Amino acid sequence: MKYRIFSVTAVLTAIFSSAAFADGETIAVFTKNLTNPYFQAVRVGTETAAKTLGVKVIQYVPTKPDSIPEQLSQVEDVIVKKPDAIVFVPVDYKALVPAVEKINAAGIPVTNITDRSAGGNFVAFVGADDYSIGLAIARRLLTAIGGKGNVIILEGVKGSLTSTNRVRGFNDALKETPDVKLLGSQPANFQRLNALQVMENLMQSFPSIDGVLAANDPMAVGAIEALEGANRKAMVIGINGSKEAVELIKSGKLLASGDFNGFIQGCIGTQIAVRNLRKQSTPKEVMLKPIVIDKTNFTPYEMPVEQRSCPTIEQITSN
Amino acid sequence: MKTAADMVTHSRLALSGDILQMLYRLLAVVLLCATLAMLSDVFLTTNNLLNVLRQTALLFLMASGLTLVILTAGLDLSVGANIALSACLAASVIKTTGSPLLGMATGIGCGAMVGLANGILVTALRIPSFIATYGMMWMLTGVTYYYMAGETIHGFPPGFRQLGSGYLLGVPTPVYVMVLFLLIGALFAQRTIWGQQIYAIGANPVAARLSGVPVERRLALVYAVSGAMAGLASLIILARINSAQGDIGEELTLPAIAAVLVGGTSLFGGSGTVAGTLIGALFLTILLNGMNLLQIHSSWQPLVTGCIILLAVWIDNRTRRIGE
Amino acid sequence: MNGSTCGWRVTVVPLFELRGISKEFPGVKALDDVSFEIRAGEVHMLVGENGAGKSTLMKILCGAYRADRGSFFHRGEPVTINDSTAARTFGIAVIFQDFTLVPYLDIAQNIFLGCEFSGRLPGLIDQRRIHTEAKRVLDMVGFNIDPRTLVHGLGVAQQQMVEIAKALSQDASILVMDEPTAALSDRETERLFAMIARLKKNGVAIIYISHRLSEVFALGDRITVLRDGRKIASLLPAETTPDHLVTLMVGRPVDTTYTRLSRPTPGEVVLQVKNLSGPSGFADINLTVRAGEIVGLSGLVGSGRTEVARAIFGVDRVTAGEIRLFGERIGGSAEDSARRGMALIPENRKTQGLALTRSVGDNIVLAGLRKLFPLGFFIPRRAMKAARAIIEKLRIATPTPRRPVATLSGGNQQKVVIGKWLNADARFYIFDEPTRGIDVGAKAEIFRLLDGLVHSGAAILMISSEQIEIVHICDRAYVMRSGRIAGELTHHELTEANIVRLGIDQ
Amino acid sequence: MSTGRLTFASVSIARVPGVAVVLAVLCVGFGATSPGFATFANIANILTQSTILLLLALPMTVIIMTEGLDLSMGAVLTFASIVLAITVVTTGSPMLGFLAALAVGFCFGLGNGMLIAVLDIPPFITTLGTLGIAQGLSLLVTDGQSVVGIPRSVESIYSGTAVGIPMPVIIGALAYGVTHTLLYHTRFGTYVFALGGNREALRVAGISVRAMLIRVYVFGGLMAGFAALLMTARLNSAHPTAGIGMEFDAIAAVAVGGTSFERGNGWLFGTLLGVIAVGVLRNGLNLLAVPSSAQVACIGALVIIALFIDGLRTER
């Protein structure tokens, strides 16, 4: 009996002990999952901003990656706790609208970042335009392969806003260069292994591939691995500007990566949330400029996110 | 496949089952290949076949250990999560020490330890394997997430990469690993007294215990082996995709289980073979490869896979009846 | 139904009759033109070796199987039986050996399974009524227990009572009992017989399948003998003798009053148990077994015999005392005991003795794997050879070791379980009810086998509920009563009377 | 999953089962450490969140009692909710949508039942197959997109309250009541115990085992269809990943609740406790702002500890 109670309490004490609270405003941050480096960058961004602003952030992430019901439950739980403000990345931009409405109903100011929610009232939206990034990075590749040849698109998770817009950008860029032939456009769910295997299989069907347009960096890397595995050459681009991508750009394996800067989005999102709390003026919308990272300009991105410092809203909005 | 085929014949003889079953399954694979060969001109190219084999190898390595577990009428739902953790640990060891060997040891060791933990939960704590390993899956995932903190570890020495993406005499390295472990697995199951005892445990644990079989230890062994194989598989993945990430093991468990079951191993324990599992893995891989080659949109893939699995197992039942 | 109107015809017109029943299974002719009749208020004994077709006949009677040929008559009226429901309308109820009870339903729910009473609301069932009715039926059977207790917790004897109650609840006029006493102690057997007598008085017809000749003569009003699916004879107890009956069953004379041929003088002490106590319900057990000895362990079912056996073999935990095998103290694990040459032939071969889905060969070599393959490498050819040797030695009736063991008859399955240990060349054997559900022919063989073992210097501890066996086979016997050794009987004290005297609790 | 190795503690109501211990400890622990926990609002919140899982766990209990398993539930729920949403959006009639969802549930239930009972394919692999089918259909129909534009009237089914109690809680209570009656007061229930405990008993009693099995899985399908209504109302949309993996949560809840995988030894109330325990754990951890990675591990721990306690008690 003793033993059994002990075994239970052991775990629980472990849990309860981690219940610490800071004074000053608390800000609840919602991200999609614990596995994608992009959202890690977002979280680091919010924390860096929080440190400088002297507020406390609490991270909420679904235990099942990208689980809609779970993020919804977490929102409901957080509303019970009534944080001062919320920075929100919806797992699904449509399905989480009820959650946003609940937050609004509870009168908690919420700032929307990364994926623009289809409904609800926000203090502001901070994001980068997936479409224009997709367009820009695709143009970069198409010019690099000399405006002609065969390319493949690796899509992200079916129906996710990010994937849809980026791929739309890719396709529009392709329209501008009629001599480039799109061989196939297959989803690889933003995942490296999927991309690797999809790529392997596609390479069987297509003897000559000149370019690969991947909707994010992991898939781009997967594609590179596949190409190397079959020792074939093709130019590859990704999106996110992740640490790994930058190194690959440096080593010349990856042509370029679109800068979809989670860190900055996290920073700005938090800053806006705090300013709003402190009754300071805030922009209604901040859109990061589409930047293409390649051999020419990768150096600043080599610094790990943990060591970077947040730009101010003005810096972002001005230039 | 040759080796598989004659492993089969031997093994089935040792069992009270029949060779027929295995031949039926091979036939199914052959039919599938024939269909694809007709539909797609690239399917039968050496490149593609090698590519299929390489992908099969991965699935098989996960499923082979699982086969033993299922032979004892157990189940291991933690395979995927185990792979994720093993891969991530191995990756960081390789990164920090720069020694692939050390990393490989870590990966397999971690896998085995996790498997052993499962074994203890199932034997000592008497928790049904389905639930024990389900709980274990969550715990491992938690540890992995915590350890990786959303980061990616990537870029391993080319020597290590060979394990996954390299070729030897024009055949991908994983295929050799697969064949090696097919032989080891089949020999272990059919040609060692431990294997025999495992079959006996699956068929009737009480009778096995009353015949002086150390049931607990054998079970612990089986789960440990399953874990170790997961660890090995994680290394192959690592070497293939050249990076480790928290979600690496997601969606790997159910296909592995499917491969075992399609391979004709019974969930009720006591009947089935490692060779069968290879055929199962081959079958499923070819199916996916085929759908990709035919440019079937990925939305169709779960649907088709589901139907084919049902069909395969149903035919399996039918032929078994005929066999009796 | 003129039969019912004029009472005197009932005795003449059988209550139920089967004529010219034939049934074939792929390969075997299970029943060949068998006719069988049963009259109200009689106990009709159905005897024959395993595989003679007794069970098949009964399965046809209760509608589980369909006959290929043959006809049925109920009170002289031709009827058809296609399924169990049809059979039930004629008041036919069967109590099979392996019970048809649901562990996690209570007694009442089990009794009325399939004919629950509807409650007030449509679709619901009236649990209260079920329980009151059940109580009534249980009283009728003379089984005093709360009908709300889960069957899960009941002992074999109690479960059987429930089975009988179940049959009566469907007011059965024809009750088929398949070896009802197989699992009962004498005490419980007496109670069962008393109840059978009561049922007879109420005009219930009873078809009683048994391997125990004593019962056949004690209970039977008529005896029908089947052999190889054919009806050999149907006669009155007065017209026959045990030996004659056995000859009819086996087709050749067999000596049933089995006795040891000679007695090797007991050798060194093989097993010594000192003050053994365990949580599974036995305490302060002391016993010794010497080489060349067959020692009986008797007592009522539930007196803790099996538990002691399991503890000695190292399956169940012990809290106090020590076990010495060949003078060395052994500790607790079945594996250890087995490696040191101890063997346990458990009481239920199907659930504890055999891996039914596996082959005869696989089962035979299982216990001996270490001995056969010291290096740990399993060689099918050698295994098959070893298996064949055992099959020859024990005359196990199977064409090949590859045959699934499930397809063998009870006697042969039991031999497989024993053979398992011959392979492991065990020196000390514990037999738990070695002859349960085995026909006379096979019984004699099993005994001869035990004999052979002790002559080769092995030692045997034999548990049996049939005192007659203990008396005939054993050199000495311990009698257990409610978890303790009530006493030891030397060879000349060894009589049924003494066993009973020690066995029943004062 | 009827196997020697999968057998474990039989939980009788007389003894305090692991799930009760765990639940009690959790409530006390969270109640003490987090102020927001023991409020009416939060408890209502927990129960509301637990409803959908409960709607799956109840039939799962019944199915597991028959030594079966239904891995397709989560996917069926998802597909049903998509069909519901599409129907509502196109026809504008919530009632039609609801019926459509039930129809989907029914069909998959029937399909599972047929495959298992008639073609006797093991439940695990059967439902693994139908899982793929339902998932595939969801993707095909929606092309990965959420289905939106559902009238508010539907959402109110989830967000509405009656006499201060949230609708889902009431629905959950009803569902529990119905299942309880089904299991303990109807022939169906009695035969469910028999299906897991001793099928021969049913055959002898002249009851069709096949028909029973099919009914059981149809019940599962229908409940999934019903849960789809709540899920859709909750999200006010339907999404092809909404219910993925819920079947495993349900199975875990059932096991935590002390239902055995063997011999029809089930305990419906335990399942209720199991579901609530999971809900309480997740809610409490969120209130304490425990990092997600730790939360993930805790859920695993909960499952294992609960069963470990049951195991301890049955140690001979």
| Contact residues on chain A for D33, CB-CB shorter than 8 A | 16, 19
C-alpha closest to that of B279 among B64, B119, B15, B38 = B64
List the C282-290 sheet strands across, edge first.
C282-290, C269-278, C320-325, C328-329
**DSSP conformation letters of C471-502:** HHH-SEEEEEETTEEEEEE-GGG--HHHHHHH
Separation between Cα atoms, residue D242 and residue D231, nearest integer Å: 8
List, for residues B247-272, the tens digit of each pLDDT value.
Answer: 888 788 888 998 998 888 888 888 88
Going by pLDDT thresholds of 50, 70 and 90, the confidence category of residue D191 is very high
Q: Which of A94-108, C28-42, D12-26, D276-290 has the lowest mean pLDDT?
A: D12-26
Question: How far from chain centre, in Å, is Cα D10?
Answer: 21
In sequence order, which residues have a C-beta less than 8 Å from that of residue D95 and are 6 or more positions away?
Answer: none
The DSSP H or E segment spanning C74 is strand C69-74
Query: Strand, coil or helix: what is C232?
Result: strand
**Are the CB atoms for B190 and B275 separated by under 8 Å?**
no
Kindly state whether C414 is in contact with chain B, defined as any CB-CB distance less than 8 angstroms: no
- Who has greater pLDDT, B231 or C166? B231
| Contact residues on chain B for D144, CB-CB shorter than 8 A | 299
Query: Span A166-181, mean pLDDT?
Result: 93
Separation between Cα atoms, residue C60 and residue B19, nearest integer Å: 36
Going by pLDDT thresholds of 50, 70 and 90, the confidence category of residue B322 is low
Contact B317 D133 (CB under 8 A): no
List, for residues A216-272, the tens digit of each pLDDT value.
Answer: 998 999 999 889 888 888 999 999 888 888 989 999 999 999 988 889 999 999 999
In sequence order, which residues have a C-beta less than 8 Å from that of residue C162 and are 6 or more positions away?
Answer: C99, C101, C107, C110, C111, C143, C151, C154
Chains in contact with D via at least 3 Cβ–Cβ pairs below 8 Å: A, B, C
List, for residues C95-146, the tens digit of each pLDDT value.
Answer: 876 678 888 888 888 888 888 888 888 888 888 888 888 888 888 777 778 8
Kindly state whether D316 is in contact with chain B, defined as any CB-CB distance less than 8 angstroms: no
The DSSP H or E segment spanning A214 is strand A211-214
List helix spans (H) across chain D. Answer: 18-33, 40-65, 73-91, 94-117, 123-142, 152-159, 167-185, 187-197, 199-204, 209-235, 246-256, 268-287, 292-314
Kindly state whether B251 is in contact with chain D, defined as any CB-CB distance less than 8 angstroms: no
Give the pTM.
0.84
Contact D5 B134 (CB under 8 A): no
Query: Span B120-140, mean pLDDT?
Result: 90
State in words which class domain D41-315 has: mainly alpha
User: Please, what is the end-to-end C-alpha distance for chain A in angstroms?
Assistant: 67
ipTM above threshold 0.90: no
Separation between Cα atoms, residue B136 and residue D282, nearest integer Å: 17
- Who has greater pLDDT, B14 or D60? D60
- Show which of residues 287-306 on chain B sit within 8 Å of chain D, judged by CB atoms: 299-306
Handedness of CA D60, D63, D66, D69 (dihedral sign): negative
Kindly state whether B270 is in contact with chain C, defined as any CB-CB distance less than 8 angstroms: yes
CA nearest A304 in B: which residue?
B151
Separation between Cα atoms, residue C57 and residue C66, nearest integer Å: 10
Write out the two tokens for A125.
Answer: 């939206």
pLDDT of residue D215: 95
State in words which class domain B42-315 has: mainly alpha
Report which residue type is found at A104. N
Mean pLDDT (10-residue bins), chain C, 506 residues: 38 79 79 88 84 82 84 87 80 78 88 83 86 86 82 79 82 84 73 84 87 82 87 86 80 60 76 88 89 87 84 88 89 85 87 85 88 87 88 84 81 86 88 80 82 88 84 88 87 82 68
CA-based nearest distance B210→chain D, Å? 14
Write out the two tokens for D36.
Answer: 């927001």
CA nearest A251 in B: which residue?
B155
Going by pLDDT thresholds of 50, 70 and 90, the confidence category of residue A22 is very low
Domain ranges for chain D: 41-315
CA atoms within 13 A on the CB side of C267: 15
Region of A188 please: left (phi>0), alpha (psi -120 to 50) or beta. Answer: alpha
**DSSP conformation letters of D203-234:** HHTT--HHHHHHHHHHHHHHHHHHHHHHHHHH
- Who has greater pLDDT, B45 or B108? B108
CA-based nearest distance D33→chain A, Å? 7
| Contact residues on chain C for B10, CB-CB shorter than 8 A | 380
Separation between Cα atoms, residue C115 and residue C117, nearest integer Å: 7
Which one of B16, B204, B210 has the shortest CB-CB distance to C404?
A: B16
Write out the two tokens for C377.
Answer: 């490498």
| Contact residues on chain A for B246, CB-CB shorter than 8 A | 34-35
C-alpha closest to that of C342 among C353, C350, C351, C333 = C333
Q: Which of A193, A216, A224, A248 would you mutate first to test chain B, the one with the most B CBs within 10 A?
A: A193
C-alpha closest to that of B235 among B136, B139, B182, B165 = B165
Report which residue type is found at A246. V
- Residues paired with residue A259 on neighbouring β-strands, in sequence order: A291
DSSP annotation of B175 reads: H
- Tell me the percentage of chain D whose pLDDT exceeds 90: 44
pLDDT of residue C229: 83
